[in-house]
Amino acid sequence: MRDKQKHNFESDDREAELMREADHENADAELYKVWATIPNAKPAIRPKTDDAKMLSFLKAYKLMPHDSTLDGLRTVLDGDDGGRRAKLLEDLKSLPTTQSVKDSYKWLAYSLTFKNEGEPEPSLFNFHQTVAK
């Protein structure tokens, strides 16, 4: 039995530290294996052929200042400032669309839900028959 009064605890601390270091090294080796399986792919480069059209569109809807240049647009789209790019995206989402309501799924659901007088009972089968004609 060891004498607790004269025991050297420094050697126990050293062994515990060595054990912790070995555990950390093993965990790092496992992480390295996982990270090695991830491909080192770079994001695709944005095509710049339509930048002039995009700039004229954005100027027409006053989403970019009228004196903006292509370099300014490329700075917004490709630059490090994600806030300006996010604001431009939100502004684009808020633009009204010219899509017809009758082309939407909401219109299809409405037309299949309510029956107009003089029309056959609405069903998806009837809808496809009228479209096929």
pLDDT at 41: 67
Is residue 21 assigned to a domain? no
Its domain, for residue 56, covers: 51-93
* Same domain for 105 and 87: no
Is residue 65 assigned to a domain? yes
Whole-angstrom distance, CA of residue 6 vs CA of residue 125: 92
* Same domain for 111 and 78: no
Is residue 122 assigned to a domain? yes
pLDDT at 23: 95
Is residue 77 assigned to a domain? yes
CB-based contact 120:126 (threshold 8 Å): yes
Is residue 55 assigned to a domain? yes
pLDDT at 27: 95
* Token duo for residue 45: 């480069």
pLDDT at 132: 46
* Same domain for 87 and 105: no
pTM above 0.75, yes or no: no
Is residue 121 assigned to a domain? yes
Is residue 85 assigned to a domain? yes
Number of domains in the chain: 2
The torsion region of residue 37 among left (phi > 0), alpha (psi -120 to 50) and beta comes to alpha
* Same domain for 117 and 84: no
Q: What is the pLDDT along the chain (133 residues), one digit of tens a residue?
A: 555 667 777 888 899 999 999 999 999 999 999 888 887 766 677 788 888 888 998 898 888 888 999 999 888 888 888 888 889 889 888 887 766 666 666 667 766 666 666 665 555 555 544 444 4
Q: Half-sphere exposure (CA, 13 Å, Cβ side) for 9?
A: 2
